[in-house]
């Protein structure tokens, strides 16, 4: 909605220097009220606002998937479940999950991990980026470096 998760993902990706990285962001556009309306449509399984991005998802091409979500009301937006569904078979696939939040976020990250594990994904690392105001890139780059070192191509 406001680019905090995208910024964090880009910073993580920038630190994965030993790996070939593909990056896909799902962004809601428009004024705040329009974004909220689009977010609300997800509750009715209407993902038309991000359909073109969703239609490109295919986990089979990747060894590792890093998936990040914002926290809305202690949970990721419902499109998270749709993203997992659209990626295809995640059984045994290495996955790293992260979320961004302003004041909470633990429950959201736990939920993400549970959902990924439920469909067979192997969550090898996770991180909660919580910042009330300005979300910088320092922690994200540190996290990216950790992933870069721990995951061998």
- Binding residues vs ligand FMN (CB under 6 A): 1-6, 70-74, 100-105
3-state secondary structure (DSSP) of residue 130: strand
Neighbours of 80 (CB within 10 A): 23
Q: How far is the CB of 92 from ligand FMN (least distance, A)?
A: 29
Q: How far is the CB of 20 from ligand FMN (least distance, A)?
A: 24
Residues with Cβ < 8 Å from 43, sequence gap 6 or more?
78
Q: How far is the CB of 22 from ligand FMN (least distance, A)?
A: 19
Q: How far is the CB of 36 from ligand FMN (least distance, A)?
A: 7
The conformation of residue 61, written as its DSSP 8-state character, comes to G
Q: Which is nearer to ligand FMN, 115 or 122 (CB)?
A: 115
Q: Which is nearer to ligand FMN, 3 or 88 (CB)?
A: 3
Give the H/E segment covering residue 65.
strand 64-70
Q: Which is nearer to ligand FMN, 68 or 121 (CB)?
A: 68
Q: Which is nearer to ligand FMN, 133 or 153 (CB)?
A: 133
C-alpha to C-alpha distance for 19 and 152, rounded to whole angstroms: 8
């Amino acid at each position: 909605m406001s680019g905090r998760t995208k910024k964090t993902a880009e910073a993580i990706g920038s630190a994965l220097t030993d790996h070939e990285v593909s990056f896909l962001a799902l962004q809601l556009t428009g004024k705040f009220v329009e974004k909220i309306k689009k977010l609300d449509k997800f509750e009715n399984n209407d993902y038309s606002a991000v359909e073109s991005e969703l239609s490109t998802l295919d986990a089979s091409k990747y060894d590792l998937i890093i998936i990040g979500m914002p926290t809305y009301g202690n949970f990721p937006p419902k499109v998270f479940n749709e993203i997992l569904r659209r990626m295809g078979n995640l059984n045994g696939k290495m996955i790293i999950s992260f979320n961004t939040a302003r004041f909470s976020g633990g429950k959201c990250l736990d939920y993400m991990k549970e959902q990924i594990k439920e469909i067979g994904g192997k969550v090898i690392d996770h991180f909660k980026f919580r910042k009330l105001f300005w979300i910088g890139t320092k922690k994200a780059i540190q996290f990216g470096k950790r992933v870069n070192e721990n995951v061998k191509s």
